[in-house]
Amino acid sequence: MKKVIIVTLAVSILISGLFANGQTDDGRKSIGIAMPETHVARWVTDGEALKANAEAMGYKAEVAFGDADQTKQNKQISDFITKGVDLIVVASINTGVNTALAEAAAEGIEIISYDRLLMDSADFNYYITFNLKKVGELQGKSIVDALDLDNSSEVKYISLFAGSPTDNNAYFFYDGAMEVLNPYITSGKLEVVGPYPVTSADKDNFNRIATEGWRAELAKERMENLLSGDAEEFVLDAVLAPNDPVGRAIIEACSNDSKYDTTAKLPIVTGQDGELATVQYIRDEKQHMTVFKDSRLLAKATIQLADSILRNTAIDVPGTVKTEFDTNLKMVETYLLTPILVTKENYEEVIIESGYYTADQIK
């Protein structure tokens, strides 16, 4: 019995030493990784990639998923702080995260805003993501090309969806796409069916096309309402969808409508994130495109940034363009990676040959 007590005591001392003062018992610094949710598959992939890259660079790393609940994510961040992490990578659910950021900053813990910009906070210094406006531009351009708007003489019809109004990224995605599409709407080549915010500055109409929490089920419900409402008298040629789950939800709603119940009759639907289910939809010609934001590259670049910060060395993040973004309270040093348009024509090269998914996974 005595031996069991001694072993238990030794193990508990070992575990308590893992994060004491940010140093694990073997001297490694530690990184907390706070991902927002798992109902959008890409965050699971990102969390895993961030942890793997951190450990490959000699750091202890722990990933937590907030399940789209900012209170839960705040508790996770507080737990990281209690464990003494040296740096926290955060993609938040909403600005409710700012109290947790302030707690981390008060402990001198550096924070990297990951993919989603942390808004209305001055408690961090770094942001890393893909070129947000370019994501939207690729979505808009893919519609122009697929509908051949530069050469078509017939009016084409489009409905518009945006991301979550709680996510600063959603405004950049939408404005990037509309900068491409607005000239075709103004010229009459493209007609909007349903609410039409010319830019995200039209908050009332933007909120009418936005998808709270990026919840695909809300997008499906809105698409069903469009089909039996504003779009009932039209045959839609395209739907601007901000990300893959919203795009697939729109396609599912259309597939249940006799006007669109074969692949050939579906509208052109956009997306982003290169999710596995969407790559399969692209292969099957259900979804027209996605914007590939290779999480392997984003995770590697993020940990390279973290490493420079933690070692207090000159920051060099290969494969990124350095700029700065405004949180409304301060300008933060920003590193942008380049997104890639993926369609039926190049998904095998970009997604499979690059090893992001295997051919078996796509089956």
Position among 206, 214, 292, 356 found at the interface with ligand GAL (CB under 6 A): 214
Q: Is the dihedral of CA 220, 221, 224, 225 positive or negative?
A: negative
In the complex, minimum distance from the CB of residue 303 to ligand GAL, in angstroms, rounded to a whole number: 18
What is the number of the residue whose Cβ is closest to ligand GAL? 40
Position among 116, 134, 215, 220 found at the interface with ligand GAL (CB under 6 A): 116
35 binds ligand GAL (CB under 6 A): no
* Closer by beta carbon to ligand GAL, 157 or else 173: 173
* Closer by beta carbon to ligand GAL, 260 or else 325: 325
Position among 115, 123, 175, 294 found at the interface with ligand GAL (CB under 6 A): 115
What gap in Å lies between CA 53 and CA 47, rounded to an integer? 10
Q: Answer for the pair 298, 113: CB distance below 8 angstroms, yes or no.
A: no
Q: Answer for the pair 41, 276: CB distance below 8 angstroms, yes or no.
A: yes
* Closer by beta carbon to ligand GAL, 59 or else 172: 172
Position among 42, 134, 156, 189 found at the interface with ligand GAL (CB under 6 A): 42
* Closer by beta carbon to ligand GAL, 227 or else 337: 337
Position among 34, 40, 87, 109 found at the interface with ligand GAL (CB under 6 A): 40
In the numeric block, the tokens 């808004």 are attached to 119
Q: Which of 342, 241, 344 is nearest to 286 (CA)?
A: 344
Both tokens of 57, joined, read 């660079």
58 Rama sector, left if φ>0, alpha if ψ -120 to 50, beta otherwise: left
In the complex, minimum distance from the CB of residue 244 to ligand GAL, in angstroms, rounded to a whole number: 8
Give me the torsion for CA of 100, 104, 107, 108, rounded to 10°: -150
113 binds ligand GAL (CB under 6 A): no
169 binds ligand GAL (CB under 6 A): yes
What gap in Å lies between CA 270 and CA 273, rounded to an integer? 11
* Closer by beta carbon to ligand GAL, 163 or else 197: 163
What gap in Å lies between CA 136 and CA 202, rounded to an integer? 17
Position among 53, 272, 287, 302 found at the interface with ligand GAL (CB under 6 A): 272
Coil, strand, or helix at residue 261? coil
Given the rule CB under 6 A, which residues bind ligand GAL? 40, 42, 115-116, 163, 167, 169, 214, 243, 272-273, 293
